[in-house]
Amino acid sequence: MPVEIAERWFETRRVDDAITLLWEPHVVPLMRCNIWHVRGRDRDLLIDTGMGIVSLREAARHLLEKPVIAVATHTHADHIGGHHEFDDCLVHEAEAGRLRNPSGRGTLRGSEFAPAELTMLRAAGYAIDGDLITALPHEGYDLASYRVRPALPTRLVAEGSIVDTGDRSFEVLHLPGHSPGSIGLWEAATGVLFSGDAIYDGPLLDQLAGSSVADYVATMRRLRELPVRVVHAGHDPSFGRAHLVELVDAYLARRGSAAA
Ligand SMILES: [Zn+2]
Ligand SMILES: [Zn+2]
């Protein structure tokens, strides 16, 4: 169990006039999700909400001046932990049930992972050799008390749905493979893609419960054709189109033969 007490739980970095990145530095890389705040004219987007260990709503209070749509790029614990704090939650129809009734991993303890899962994660590039947090949010915090809390899906989306902030318009891309209801938000006017865990600059996971290698291969082929300028992903640093192509090609070299 970690002994250090975190000075603050979330870090924040302004990316441009409208976009701010928040993240949880004391969460291990496997579960350290990028939380993207997009300021809109009429409403804001909060794309993923982290682990839900500490109140995101409180931490992001200075950013949340307008009505906000909490988007779930998918429903793994590290992306929806804070959704219960928001009234307006957007999710792909294939994973709405998991937002409403989170199942699966609700633990901060590495020792609660099944040995086979630890082996799979290690092979993929994530070595878990302790707990999932490296500091406590406050003194006396009990790791065993951690739960992913249910949130109400208020906006179900599918391929082609439009998410509108008043001055910006994002198209929902259904990008299954990592999970069945993984989505990206694509702004064609600027070439910005919020990709969730469909693609990021780190070890990609396609062996989880609900993953599909064949779907992932198709998603990668689709992403390769997208005229992106910048990808703001679910984990790790943002990147441009040249690196997207490298990441796609590396994945296809590894798994491409799995596609029909
Ligand atoms: Zn995920
Ligand atoms: Zn993730």
Return the minimum-mean-pLDDT range out of 66-70, 124-128, 186-190, 255-259: 255-259
Residue 77 Cα to ligand 1 midpoint, Å, equals 8
The 162-164 sheet, strands edge to edge: 162-164, 169-174, 183-187, 192-196, 230-233
pLDDT-derived band at 195, boundaries 50, 70, 90: very high
- Which ligand lies nearest the alpha carbon of 210? 1
Position 1 pLDDT exceeds 80: no
Residue 125 Cα to ligand 2 midpoint, Å, equals 14
245 φ, ψ to 5°?
Answer: -60, -40
Taking only the tens place, the pLDDT of each residue in 232-250 is 999 999 999 999 999 999 9
Residue 79 Cα to ligand 1 midpoint, Å, equals 7
Taking only the tens place, the pLDDT of each residue in 33-84 is 999 999 999 999 999 999 999 999 999 999 999 999 999 999 999 999 999 9
Region 176-184: mean pLDDT is 98
Position 259 pLDDT exceeds 60: no
Residue 208 Cα to ligand 1 midpoint, Å, equals 9
Q: Report the alpha-carbon distance of residue 251 to residue 100 in Å, rounded.
A: 32
State which residues have CB under 5 angstroms from ligand 1, the bound ion: 76, 197
Region 186-206: mean pLDDT is 98
Region 185-214: mean pLDDT is 97
Across the chain, mean pLDDT equals 96
Residue 82 Cα to ligand 2 midpoint, Å, equals 14
Region 15-33: mean pLDDT is 97
Q: Longest Cα pair distance anywhere in the chain, in angstroms?
A: 53
Region 72-101: mean pLDDT is 97
For residue 20, count other CB atoms closer than 10 A to its CB: 20
* pTM flag (> 0.95): yes
Position 138 pLDDT exceeds 70: yes
Q: Print burial letters for 202-241: b (CB count within 10 Å at least 16), e (below 16).
A: bebbbebebbbbebbbbbbeebbebebebbbbbbeebbeb
Residue 53 Cα to ligand 1 midpoint, Å, equals 17
